[in-house]
A and B are shown apart, each in its own frame.
Chain A
Amino acid sequence: MYKIAKENLTALFRLMAEDKALYLPVNNAGQVNFAAWTEDAEVDLDTLKSVKSPKDAFFPQSENLYTCYKDGKKIKIEPEELQHQNFVVFGMKACDVKGVEVLDKVFLSEPVDTFYAARRAHGTIVAMACHEPEETCFCKVFGIDCAEPVADVATWMVEGELYWKALTEKGEALTKAVASLLTETDEAKVEDEKTAIRAIVEKLPYMNLSLEGWNGDALTEKFDSPIWEELYKPCLACGTCTFVCPTCQCYDIKDYDTGHGVQRYRCWDSCMYSDFTMMAHGNNRTSQMQRFRQRFMHKLVYFPANNDGMYSCVGCGRCVEKCPASLNIVKVIKAFENQGGDR
């Protein structure tokens, strides 16, 4: 275990950014999101949750796949380069890290998504324990311990000092690279911090949320429930919940005509949008109720069915905070709990 004083963090960032790209929570026009570190970036490690989850670092909202252009009478295709520079994502929370684990299940299983795999191979995650969890948090429901994040490096901010502990080989390598700024220390203060965080977590309003009945086998029972018809009504069909979510992984592939070629790119898609999975024959989900149901069925039923019971929700609570109509996954789970799921 190492530590570094808070006022030396800028030196730490500068050192890391020397040969690597560094992404960390930055305040831009009043909102905190993960962004590349620069000398004049307004780094904000105190805000608990970035608006957008840091999944961007591995699965950007939009990325080019290849470009086609005319070369004489031939058409040339130029694939986009894969990530080859090492980078560090600093300040991810335990839930965000778990979110990446969910994405791994999707993108690293066959057929492997090479763009994502390259980013995973070159990225080092420095996670940070949640000093002050908020009322919208419910990561513990999914077995996540926000007091002890599991990543390449785990860090804790205690009394103006950042405690640093490498957990993997990548983490060790990073620690070695910045060792000149770290000093060795014992774990006593971190243990106290963990205890304090866990005590707070116990007091959070969503702590007793029960996932009973939500699993891969609950398909028809949940799918056919009349509750969805009631639940979806306030939904405005915007994509806020899906775009702030650390685990939503659906994407669309589109072409852009640049006037001198075509750029094929992919971008996040949202099951809330009317053109989601639109095909030549039309759309297989024709009502907002069906789209709404898709989101929660995917997170709590389809995903566990295909991934050994792993839910694709990590309880970060971003949708709880950001939904314009105050709908969210917690309300859905509670609605089924209260009504038994089959009226």
Chain B
Amino acid sequence: MQELINRAKELLANGTVARVLGWKAGDLPYNPEPAFFTTAEELDNFVYNGFCGANLSKYMIAASKLEGKTMVCLKPCDTYSFNQLIKEHRVDREKAYIVGVGCKGKLSIEKVKDLGIKGITAVSGAEMSDDAETLTFQTIYGDKSCAYADAMLERCHVCKGKEHMVYDELIGESKDTKDAERFAEVEKIEAMSPAEKFAFFQKELSKCIRCNACRNVCPACSCRKCVFDSTKFDSAQKANVDSFEEKMFHIIRAFHVAGRCTDCGECSRVCPQGIPLHLFNRKFIKDIDELYGEYQAGADTDSKAPLTNFTFDDAEPSIVTKR
């Protein structure tokens, strides 16, 4: 982390960048927030640890419109999102100085709390320099600990890899955290009967409070105005009036990013109700892979996206009933 701070100070001092986009220490041991730094003093609050899960690519859309370059810290999976935004002309590559930061898997405070650890006042083992396999917590109810992997975000268990897709320089080592199959959960649902599938999604989506956090955090959801925010749209974008509306919202949300979703997992990370939203996106990714060939959004900046492309002998929609 100190290396990152020093480098950021250097880049600010020599005028390469006008600001630094990273994470600022929070007021609890686990809630750092995305932040812009413009001076060396401010950088004293810079933090990079296991709780810095936020994908900063989305903030680069706004930062691309600012004067001067922005140094942005991107984890390997964040760089896919950034690449995808370059492809869609939503960010300006020239305005970004990308420091690829190492990652050893990001933590979910929700998972920690699910393990019964509460009243947390201090955490150790989450620092990037630390190779500890366990996290230890000081809480008002005594000291607790858990395995690092048990507190990891779902997306880190199916990590896309340690490589940064786009960067100007790299700082820090990454770790292999993949220990599950990416499509295992999707396959489990596919194997269910229609009634079971329906019940599963009905139950999960019944928790939705229409806060739109999944949409707003998504780097691929970069429309200036969302179709769901239109005043001409007679379904409410902020009310859970009927269970149909949740379904429509989540299908359309996932469909609008189909072929563009890099599977960064931010939607599932931010959902206040813990809805596994990645299951929608990943279903589209799986279908695209199977029907139109393997495709990883954000792996490059020039390939054609699956939904703006076609071949003459694509499968007919009736394939759905045959599979």
Q: Which of B68-76, B232-240, B297-305, B314-322 is near enough to bind chain A? A: B232-240
Interface size class on chain B is 35 or more
Confirm or deny: A116 has a beta carbon within 8 angstroms of a beta carbon on chain B.
no
Complex CA–CA separation, A80 to B272 (angstroms) = 31
* 307-331 of chain A: CB within 8 A of chain B: 320-322, 324-327, 330-331
* 193-219 of chain B: CB within 8 A of chain A: 203-204, 206-207, 209-213, 215-217
| Residues of A contacting B236 in the complex (Cβ-Cβ under 8 angstroms) | 62, 252, 254, 256, 267
When the two chains form their complex, are residues A135 and B33 in contact, meaning their CB atoms are under 8 A apart?
no
| Residues of B contacting A117 in the complex (Cβ-Cβ under 8 angstroms) | none
| Residues of B contacting A135 in the complex (Cβ-Cβ under 8 angstroms) | 28, 118-121, 139-140
| Residues of B contacting A325 in the complex (Cβ-Cβ under 8 angstroms) | 33-34, 54
Confirm or deny: B36 has a beta carbon within 8 angstroms of a beta carbon on chain A.
yes
Confirm or deny: A72 has a beta carbon within 8 angstroms of a beta carbon on chain B.
no
| Residues of A contacting B235 in the complex (Cβ-Cβ under 8 angstroms) | 256
B235 nearest CB neighbor, chain A only = A256
B interface footprint on A258-292 (CB within 8 Å = 1, 0 otherwise): 00000001011110011100100000000000000
Complex CA–CA separation, A236 to B225 (angstroms) = 14
Complex CA–CA separation, A256 to B279 (angstroms) = 30
When the two chains form their complex, are residues A51 and B217 in contact, meaning their CB atoms are under 8 A apart?
no
When the two chains form their complex, are residues B274 and A240 in contact, meaning their CB atoms are under 8 A apart?
no
Confirm or deny: A17 has a beta carbon within 8 angstroms of a beta carbon on chain B.
no
Confirm or deny: B231 has a beta carbon within 8 angstroms of a beta carbon on chain A.
yes
When the two chains form their complex, are residues A239 and B238 in contact, meaning their CB atoms are under 8 A apart?
yes
Complex CA–CA separation, A159 to B210 (angstroms) = 38
| Residues of A contacting B275 in the complex (Cβ-Cβ under 8 angstroms) | 29
Confirm or deny: A143 has a beta carbon within 8 angstroms of a beta carbon on chain B.
no
Distance from B235 Cβ to chain A, minimum over Cβ atoms (Å): 8
Complex CA–CA separation, A246 to B46 (angstroms) = 32
Confirm or deny: B270 has a beta carbon within 8 angstroms of a beta carbon on chain A.
yes
With A51-B272, A257-B234, A275-B231: A61-B240 Cβ-Cβ less than 8 Å: yes
Complex CA–CA separation, A114 to B144 (angstroms) = 49
| Residues of B contacting A273 in the complex (Cβ-Cβ under 8 angstroms) | 212, 229, 237-238
| Residues of B contacting A240 in the complex (Cβ-Cβ under 8 angstroms) | 209, 211, 213, 270, 272
Confirm or deny: B312 has a beta carbon within 8 angstroms of a beta carbon on chain A.
no
| Residues of B contacting A334 in the complex (Cβ-Cβ under 8 angstroms) | 27
Given A28-B203, A273-B238, A322-B272; 6 other pairs, CB 8 A cutoff: A52-B209, A132-B119, A134-B119, A135-B28, A265-B239, A267-B236
| Sampled A-B contacts (10; CB under 8 Å) | A28-B206, A29-B207, A132-B118, A200-B119, A273-B229, A322-B272, A324-B269, A324-B270, A326-B33, A330-B27
